Amino acid sequence: MEQKNTVMSQMKIDYKLLDRVFEIIKHNKELDQSFQSILEEIGTFYGLSRITVCEYDFINGNPIVSHQWLREGCQPYFLNQNKKSELDFFESWNFDSDLYCFEDVTKIDPIDRLCYERLGIQAMVQCGFYENNQMVGMIHFDDCIQIRKWEKEVLDTLTILTKFIGEIIIHIRNKKMLQREIFYSQAVFNNQRLVYYFIKEDTYELVNYSAFIKNLFPNLKIGEVCYKALFDKDSPCETCPIRGLSKNNGRSSYEFYDSNNEAWFSITATSMNDMDGQKIYILGISDVTGFLERVNAKDALTGLLTLSRFEADASRLITKNSDKNYAFLYIDFDKFKNINDEWGYSRGNEILYHYAKISVKHLNSSELACRVSEDKFIKLLTYEDRNQLINRVIDVYGKIREHFTVNFPDVNPIITCGIYFLMPEDKVISMAVDKANLARKSIKGSHKSDIAIYDESFHRRVSKEIMIETHMHEALKNNDFLVYMQPKIDLKTQRIIGAEALVRWKLPDGKILGPMEFIPIFEQNGFIDKLDFYVYEKTFQVLRDILDTGKKALVVSINVSRNHLNDSHFIDRLNQLVKKYNIPNELIELEITESMFFKELDRLIYMIKKLREYGFLISIDDFGSGYSSLNLLKDLPVDILKIDKEFFMERKMNNEDKIVISGIISLAKGLGLKVLSEGVETKEQAEFLAENSCDMAQGYWFYRPMPIEEFVEILNES
Ligand code: C2E
Ligand code: MG
Ligand code: MG
C-alpha cells in the first residue's frame, strides 16, 4: 500500500508532549486512572477527533475497546464484529513497522476505505504494542474532520507514546490477572478443609502450609520439622508416604486410623521442584472415613466382603505382600436358578451361606474371599507353585462337595471355578478378576470339568474375538465374506440335485476362516443378521443365474441362525429378497439346526408352518448331534431330515452306528420326510446309505464346499 509508512532510523520526538504525559503519571497514583487524562492530553495536543485503545482480552478470548477519548460531537469507535477475532485481526495486520497511517481516506484501497468511512475517519495513525513479540493491542489516532499531513515528528511521538501506553496496559493487565489467580486459589485454600503442607527433601522442614493447618496449629512456623510440629514425634513417621514415592510414579498414598478423632485419614505425597529448583514434597491429608465406610460393607447373607471392598483390600494385600504369588478364583454355582426355583430361596441362601463359611475356613491371613452377587464368589489365594494351588483348590472342592452331600443330599449343588494366576504386569484388579471369570465361563454347563485355568489360549481367543468384531463391518462392505456351495447328491441317480450355501471369510492375507470361527461370535453380537441376509442374497443371485441359463432347476439350501427366530420381520424380509431375484420359493430350503428345537419350540413351529405356507422347504440340520428326540419328529412340520456328520466322522462305521442310522432313515421316511446324510466321506458310507434308502448325501466323498464359479462349472459339465 502506498500509504504504508516506515518509521525511519532517526526519530523526531515532541518532548513537550512527552513531558506533559509524564507529568500526568506523576500526579496520579493509580496508573489505571491516568489513562483518560493521557489520551485527552495527546488528543488536544494534536487536535485529533478520537483516540481508541484496542486490546485482546486474554481472559474472555475476544478483542475489546479498553479505553477511548472522544472530542465532543465525535462518534465512538466500535470494533467490526465480523472479524473472527481481534487476534486474527492483529496478525493479519501486515506491518512493515509498528505503524500504519494514511492522510486521506479517499485515496486508500476502496475495500479498506469502507471500514474507515464507517467510523467517520478522514486521516488516521495506527500503532501496535507488543508483549513477547506478539501484538496484543493497538492505538488508533483518528482525525474525523479533515485530511491531514502527518509530520514525521507527530508519527514518531505517537509511536513512542503507544509503546509507553502499551507497557502500562500490559503491566496493569498482568497485575490484574495475577491478583485474580491469587484471589481464586486463596478462596479454595481458605474455604475448603484442605490439609496441605510442603516440606524440604531430607530435612522435613516445613516450607509452606494451607490455611486449614494454620487454624489447627496457630503457633506453627515455617522451618519447623513436620513430624515434630504436626505429629509430635522425634523422628519421621513410619507411615510417611514419601517412602513410597520412588516406586509409585511420583505419587504415593497411605491410609491410617486416628483414634483421637476416630477417623480414617489418607495421606498422599507428591514431589516437585520449588522456584529455586530445590526438590520439595507436597503432602495432603484427607478424611476418608465416609468413603471407607461405603466400601466397607460386608455381604449381609454370607458375611464375606463386598466386591468393592474386596478389590480395595486385594489391591493393598498384593502390594504389601509383593514377595507372594497370588491367584484369583471366580466361582459360580451351576444352574443356581433351578435350585432356587425348585427348593425355594431360603434353601438356596442356606447353600450359599454354607459355601461361604467353608471357603473362609480354608483361607490364610494373606487371602480374601468375597461374594460378587447371587451365586458368584471370588477368592484371592496365595500359592507356592501352580500345581500346589490347583491341588489345594481340588482338595477344598472335595471338602465342599462332601459337606453338600451330607447337608443337602437332595439338591446336589455343583460349582465351577476359573483360575487366573496374577502376573507382575497386572495392574488392575478388575481385569484380573475378569480373566478368572472368562476361564470359568468356558466350562460352565459343560459337565466336563469343574476347574478351568486362564492361559495363553484364552488370551489368543479373546484377541481373535476382538479382531473379528473390529473387522466384521468392513469385511462385509469389501465382499470379504465368500459364499461356497456344497453339492447334494441323489443317491439313486448319483447326480447333483441341490446344494448348500456355506459362508467363508477371506482374510487380507488370503487365509480363509471357516464359519465356526466367527458365526458363534456373530450370533452373540447380532451381526449374524446382516451376514445371513448377505449370504442369502448371494445365493439367490447364483440361483437366478443358473435359472437364466435354462438349466434344470435345483434346490439350494441356506442356514437359518437361531437369532432370526425372534425377528418378527424375518419372513417378510426373506420373501422380499426372493421376489427381488424372482426365485420360485420351492427352490429354497431353510436349514434349521436341531439344537433350535430345544428352546421356544412353539415359536419355532409357528415360524416353520408360516414358511411352509409360502412354499419354502424346511430341513432339520445336524439331526442326531444333540439330544435329538425321535419322538419329536412326528410333531415337526418339516420336509427333510439331515443326519449329522458326526455319525460318519469315524471313517469306518461300526454296527451300532449302522443300526441307529438305518433306524433314523426308516422312521423319517415312515413319517413322509426325505433324508439326507451329511459329511459322507467314504465309498463304503455312500453305498451303505444307498442300500438303506437314504435319499440324498452331501460330503467330501462327492464334493467339498467350493467357490460359486467352480460350482457353476461342475453344473455345466454334468
Ligand atoms: P452345517 O449347516 O451342518 O454345514 C455342514 C458342514 O459340514 C459344513 O461345515 C461343511 O463344510 C461340513 N462338511 C461337508 N461335508 C463334510 C465331510 O464330508 N466331512 C466333514 N467333516 N465335514 C463336512 P462348515 O462350512 O464349516 O460350516 C459349519 C457350520 O456353520 C454349518 O454347519 C452351519 O451351521 C454354519 N454356517 C455355515 N454357513 C452359514 C451361514 O451362512 N449362516 C449361518 N447362520 N450359519 C452358517
Ligand atoms: Mg446346514
Ligand atoms: Mg449340518
Rounded to the nearest angstrom, the distance between the alpha carbon of 619 and the centre of ligand 2 is: 9
Is 532 a pocket residue for ligand 1 (Cβ < 6 Å)?
A: yes
Is 435 a pocket residue for ligand 1 (Cβ < 6 Å)?
A: no
Rounded to the nearest angstrom, the distance between the alpha carbon of 252 and the centre of ligand 3 is: 60
Pocket test for ligand 1, best of 476, 488, 502 (most atoms within 8 A of CB): 502
Atom in ligand 1 nearest the alpha carbon of residue 680 = 18
Contacts of residue 627, defined as CB under 8 A and 6 or more positions apart, other chains included, come to 598
What is the reported pLDDT for 54? 87
Q: Counting every residue, how long is the chain?
A: 718
Host H or E run for residue 604: helix 601-613
Dig out the grid coordinates for 58 from the structure.
486474554
Is 679 a pocket residue for ligand 1 (Cβ < 6 Å)?
A: yes
β-bridge pairing 481-490 and 696-698: antiparallel
Rounded to the nearest angstrom, the distance between the alpha carbon of 446 and the centre of ligand 2 is: 24
Rounded to the nearest angstrom, the distance between the alpha carbon of 588 and the centre of ligand 1 is: 17
Dig out the grid coordinates for 534 from the structure.
448377505
Quick check: 626 and 614 in contact, CB under 8 A?
no
β-bridge pairing 588-593 and 617-623: parallel
The residue nearest atom 43 of ligand 1, judged by CA position, is: 559
Rounded to the nearest angstrom, the distance between the alpha carbon of 501 and the centre of ligand 1 is: 9
Is 564 a pocket residue for ligand 1 (Cβ < 6 Å)?
A: no
What is the reported pLDDT for 613? 96
- Per-domain boundaries in the chain: 2-181, 193-291, 298-454, 467-717
Dig out the grid coordinates for 67 from the structure.
479505553
Q: Tell me how far apart the alpha carbons of residues 204 and 229 are, in angstroms, rounded to a whole number.
A: 11
Identify each DSSP E strand in 89-209 by its residue range. 99-102, 123-131, 134-143, 195-200, 206-209
Phi first, then psi: give them for residue 525, nearest 5 degrees: -95, 0
Q: Which residues surround ligand 2, an ion (CB under 5 A)?
A: 559, 591, 621
CATH T-level fold of 298-454: Alpha-Beta Plaits (3.30.70)
pTM, two decimal places: 0.52
Full strand arrangement of the beta sheet holding 134-143: 62-70, 50-57, 134-143, 123-131, 99-102
Helical ranges in 217-335 per DSSP H: 226-231, 289-296, 307-320
Q: How far is CA 407 from the centre of its chain?
A: 46
Q: Tell me how far apart the alpha carbons of residues 166 and 87 are, in angstroms, rounded to a whole number.
A: 16
Is 561 a pocket residue for ligand 1 (Cβ < 6 Å)?
A: yes
Atom in ligand 1 nearest the alpha carbon of residue 593 = 34
Phi first, then psi: give them for residue 328, nearest 5 degrees: -100, 140
Mean pLDDT by 10 residues, the chain (718 residues): 45 88 83 85 95 83 85 83 51 62 90 83 92 86 94 92 89 87 80 84 90 86 93 84 74 76 83 86 86 74 90 88 95 89 90 94 94 94 95 92 90 89 88 91 69 84 85 96 98 96 95 94 91 97 93 93 89 97 97 83 90 96 78 85 89 82 92 96 95 97 97 89
The residue nearest atom 8 of ligand 1, judged by CA position, is: 502
Rounded to the nearest angstrom, the distance between the alpha carbon of 561 and the centre of ligand 2 is: 10
What is the reported pLDDT for 672? 93
CATH T-level fold of 467-717: TIM Barrel (3.20.20)
Grid cell 481464586 is found at 184
Would you tell me how many other CB atoms lie within 10 Å of the CB of residue 410?
Answer: 7
Helical ranges in 297-449 per DSSP H: 307-320, 336-343, 345-361, 386-407, 429-443
Q: Tell me how far apart the alpha carbons of residues 569 and 184 are, in angstroms, rounded to a whole number.
A: 61
527-542 residue pLDDT tens: 999 999 999 999 999 9
Pocket test for ligand 1, best of 559, 565, 589 (most atoms within 8 A of CB): 559
**DSSP states along 66-114:** EEEEE-TTPPPP---TTSS-HHHHHHH---SSSEEEES-GGGS-HHHHH
Strand, helix or coil for residue 147: coil
Quick check: 295 and 274 in contact, CB under 8 A?
no
Strand, helix or coil for residue 171: helix
Q: What angle do CA 293, 298, 304 make, to 5 degrees?
A: 145
Contacts of residue 541, defined as CB under 8 A and 6 or more positions apart, other chains included, come to 581
Strand, helix or coil for residue 421: strand
Strand partners, 51: 69, 141
Atom in ligand 1 nearest the alpha carbon of residue 649 = 21
CATH of domain 193-291: 3.30.450.20
Is 14 a pocket residue for ligand 1 (Cβ < 6 Å)?
A: no
Rg (CA), the chain: 43
Q: What angle do CA 596, 600, 601 make, to 5 degrees?
A: 75
Is 157 a pocket residue for ligand 1 (Cβ < 6 Å)?
A: no
Would you tell me how many other CB atoms lie within 10 Å of the CB of residue 606?
Answer: 13
**Is 2-181's fold the same as 193-291's?**
yes
Is 514 a pocket residue for ligand 1 (Cβ < 6 Å)?
A: yes
Rounded to the nearest angstrom, the distance between the alpha carbon of 625 and the centre of ligand 3 is: 9
Dihedral in degrees, nearest 10, Cα atoms 309, 315, 321, 326: 100
CATH of domain 2-181: 3.30.450.40
Rounded to the nearest angstrom, the distance between the alpha carbon of 464 and the centre of ligand 2 is: 24
What is the reported pLDDT for 506? 96
Q: How far is CA 386 from the centre of its chain?
A: 34
Per the rule left: phi > 0, alpha: psi between -120 and 50, beta: everything else, 699 is: left
Ligand closest to CA 705: 1
Dig out the grid coordinates for 109 from the structure.
484501497
Is 487 a pocket residue for ligand 1 (Cβ < 6 Å)?
A: no
Please measure the distance between the N-terminal and C-terminal CA atoms of the chain and give it in whole angstroms: 87
Atom in ligand 1 nearest the alpha carbon of residue 622 = 3
